[in-house]
Structure 1
Amino acid sequence: MNAPSSLKVLVLASTFPRWQGDKEPPFVYELSRRLVQHPHIANVHVLAPHAQGAALTEEWEGLKITRFRYFFEKWQTLAYAGGILANLKQNRWRYALVPFFMLGEAIALWRLLRRESFDVIHAHWLIPQGLIALLVCKLLPRPVPKILCTSHGGDLFALRGKGLTQLKTYVLKNVSAMTVVSEAMFQEALRLGADAQKMYVIPMGVDVQTQFIPNATCTRHADSLLFVGRLVEKKGIHYLLQAMPTVLARYPHVQLRIIGTGTEAKALQDLAQQLQIVPHVQFIGAVENKNLPQLYQSHAIVIFPSIIANDGDREGFGLVLVEALGCECAVIATDLPAMQDILQDQQTALIVPQRDVSALAEALCTLLANPAKARQLGEQGRQFVVARYDWQIIAQRYGQLLVEMG
């Protein structure tokens, strides 16, 4: 183990805020900035993709950030705005960017490792970051940094086909240590050949102590429903919209607010028109992360109708579930294995089968008819997540693992 404050960590990620106040998911940033505060970690440096309007190098709260170019600036559209997988689905021409992305990241990583000494590389996602870290380290003289790879779900479940499966297995078998964010992912990684002795289940966290908390001064609107997340296939929003006519037949004043952007936005808006529910559905778009708590606090019921997408993509861990429960919202979610780490039916949420429109509509009507039940679910849900998923707990677990590796 290194002496106090001597460990140097290099973080690789393809999702990271492009600028202050960005609406991209912040979980890699939130973990990384907390690792900077660890007593045995000297510095943390993040390498992430560049995007139009973003700085190439900067420093936030002691966190060094380098962004690598991989194409002409205005055409760097592979990462962000829904994620790499969703962006590839939306526009097949973006597959042409993949080799440029991987080469750009590999060159940037090689340069950083030649210029600076790091003890551990923390690569988020098996492919491309985990794979690139392994390949670049093979080109460097020994000793090279140890590699911790964290899989978040889509990279483990959705990348199918013989070649991609072999690449996933290669990463799983060759990194120094591996973390996944749910028990369901742990079992899938074992199936692909991962070594259980170097595998850990450590999810991402949420600030449920100061940010995602109940607010007694904020009025919850009992007839307002909320969805928060990327507008992509695996989120199952089509089924939520299809459930709305049944709900509206019994509760005609209900309003559904959908927060987020993504490749399915236009299709979802068209579906709302076809179902003739446009007056009852608001597509808000993306909001800054600092404004999310107030949205949760003003809604009694939050819905997560996630599914296993046609290409196998699915949730690795429901981080927005933890945010909602932290704010004491009543949650309705589907029965995906990854949700089972967080949710207990009738205790912390109502759980329905995925793709089951009737069951989803019935669960919504149940909570709309019984506000006391909704409050009870929210209160019990908050107690559960505060004890397990606060960033203070999660960052300590990751920090301890990194220090042990270094």
Structure 2
Amino acid sequence: MVSEHASPLATLGGVDAGGQNVHVAALGAALARAGHEVDVYTRRDGRELPECVELVPGVTVVHVPAGPARPVPKDDLLPYMPAFGDLLTEHWSGDRAPDVAHAHFWMSGIATLRAAAMTGTPVAQTFHALGSVKRRHQGDKDTSPPGRIGLESSIGRRADVVVATCSDEVAELSRLGVPADHVRVVPCGVDVQHFRPGPADGTTLPRRARFRLLCIGRLVERKGIETVIDALVDLPDAELVVAGGPSADELEADAEAARLVALAAARGVRDRVHLVGRVDHGDLPALVRSADVVVATPWYEPFGIVPIEAAACGVPVVGSAVGGLLDTVQDGRTGLLVPPRDPAALASALRALLADPDRRAAFGAAARRRAVARYGWDRVAAQTELVYRTMARHAVLTKVAAG
């Protein structure tokens, strides 16, 4: 696996550390449990980092010295991808080439395809986010390098297989010129043993209102927390807990946190909005279970890990009808979907659900069943393994045919 900016060893919650880091770490571990040997290549962003670190038995993280040995925003990493690709070529020379390379994010695809051209390694590509979608929703605020959309189109056509994480992405890839028969849909997963129903414990905050709404994620504007704060005005019996971003003692220095606090004050709900900062992974299930509803209202979302974490805990989700949430939240069965950036629609959906405990319980039970059936990591790894086996078999047949 190649994950140039999203190391599986990273601390989650930063601007460039989120769902992709979880995906790469968990998928690698699940593949290792199935008997595979997994190397994850990520950029070395600290001088103290060793070349190789064992993540879990069977999964090794390899730090690639491409670019400066310090954190660099992912949108500034493009100039270092040729060097990254050349170093992959060195690693994969001779008989050390992997059976399959799986690139995560478009820049990883550039590096991986560069190495594959020299080593003959078949390449799977997962984008995790597409530049065309980001540009559509962020406009001038999009900080992606120029040419990203064209490069993603080229990567999608050159890779042996594109592994999309949701059905909405397939349509977007088609608009980029990637043939539908070139794409396989394999969702992201969730640890259904870690995230499971049960009582909340002492790690959660004391409740300050009759109902608790919970948002989890990076503190970036596109996550749509502003919409939830606006909706809270019409939900006087509810509090909003926001988990994510920097640690609690660093929240005051975070620009987005300050913006959300100021917005809550302007809307007259400051006493019911609680930003708690980064929450350790081990404490997340209890926090999720403390909520009556998990709210996920991004402007766009390539997949979204939080809705399936909530589902695995048996907690209903009210979310935006965008991207991966169209797959992970079954409207009227496991949760409710509303238009993005629509506080009135969100407030209406939440008001109805909070007033109906039996419906919340039914949604939560159905969500848990679906999470176990569809999104457990061992199941996701098995689906991914089928893609890999087909790719490896085709590569062998191609070499035989070539003589």
* TM-score (normalizing by structure 2): 0.82
Query: How far apart are residue 190 of structure 1 and its match?
Result: 1.5
Taking a change above 3 Å as real, the CA distance of residues 156 and 293 of structure 1, as seen in their structure-2 partners, is farther
2:148 pairs, out of 164, 167, 177, with: 164
Instruction: Confirm or deny: 8 A CA contact 1:156 1:189 kept in the other structure.
Output: no
More deviation, 143-152/49-58: 49-58
Distance in 1 between the 2:374 and 2:132 partners?
Answer: 24
Q: 1:144 aligned to 2:120?
A: yes
1:58 aligned to which of 48, 53, 59: 53
Worse-matched range after superposition: 339-348 or 63-72 = 63-72
2:92 — aligned with what? 113
Change (3 A) 1:73 1:267: farther
8 Å CA contact retained: 1:224, 1:299: yes
The 3 A distance-change label for structure 1 pair 346 and 55 is same
Aligned-CA RMSD value = 2.5
> Could you say if the C-alpha distance between residues 132 and 195 of structure 1 is closer, same or farther in structure 2, counting changes exceeding 3 Å?
same
- Letter aligned with residue 100 of structure 2: V
- Unaligned runs of 5+ residues in structure 1 are 1-9, 79-83, 89-94, 308-313
State how far apart, in whole Å, the 2-side matches of 1:241 and 1:340 are: 23
Q: CA deviation at 1:167?
A: 1.3
Show the counterpart of 1:276: 268
Residues 1:286 and 2:278 aligned together: yes
- Residue type at the aligned position of 1:14: H
The one-letter amino acid of 2:3's match is L
Q: Please, which runs of 5 or more residues in structure 2 have no aligned partner? A: 137-144, 247-254, 393-403
Please state if 1:302 is matched with 2:285.
no
Alignment correspondent of 1:383: 369
Query: Following the alignment from structure 1 to structure 2, what is the Cα–Cα distance between the partners of residues 279 and 154?
Result: 37
After alignment, is 182-191 or 381-390 more displaced? 381-390
- Distance across 2 between alignment mates of 1:285 and 1:32: 28
Cα separation, 1, equivalents of 2:4 and 2:132: 15
1:186–1:346 CA distance, 2 compared to 1 (3 A): same
1:34 aligned partner, one-letter code? A
Distance in 2 separating the partners of 1:98 and 1:169: 16
Q: Does 1:214 align with 2:197?
A: yes
Q: CA 1:315–1:337 in structure 2 vs 1: closer, same or farther (change >3 Å)? A: closer
Deviation at 1:189, TM superposition (A): 0.8
CA distance in 2, matches of 1:217, 1:305: 24
Amino acid in the other structure paired with 1:191? R
The residue identity in structure 2 corresponding to 1:240 is V
Is contact 2:190–2:376 with CA below 8 Å preserved after alignment?
Answer: yes
Partner of 2:336: 350
Give the C-alpha shift of residue 277 in structure 1: 2.2
1:261 corresponds to 2:245: yes
User: Quick one: which amino acid aligns to residue 170 of structure 2?
Assistant: F
- Give how far 1:306 is off: 1.4
Q: Larger deviation: 217-226 or 328-337? A: 217-226
Q: What is the SS of the residue equivalent to 2:120?
A: coil
Q: 2:345 — aligned with what?
A: 359
Whether contact under 8 Å (1:18, 1:54) holds in the other structure is no
Output the CA distance in 2 between the equivalents of 1:357 and 1:13. Answer: 36
Deviations 1:314-343 (A, max 9, x none): 311122101101111121111114322122
Structure 1-normalised TM-score? 0.82
1:123 matches 2:114: no
Number of residue equivalences: 362
Match for 2:41 among 44, 47, 56?
A: 47
Aligned-residue identity in percent: 27
Q: Which residue of 1 aligns with 2:142?
A: none
Matched AA of 1:118: P
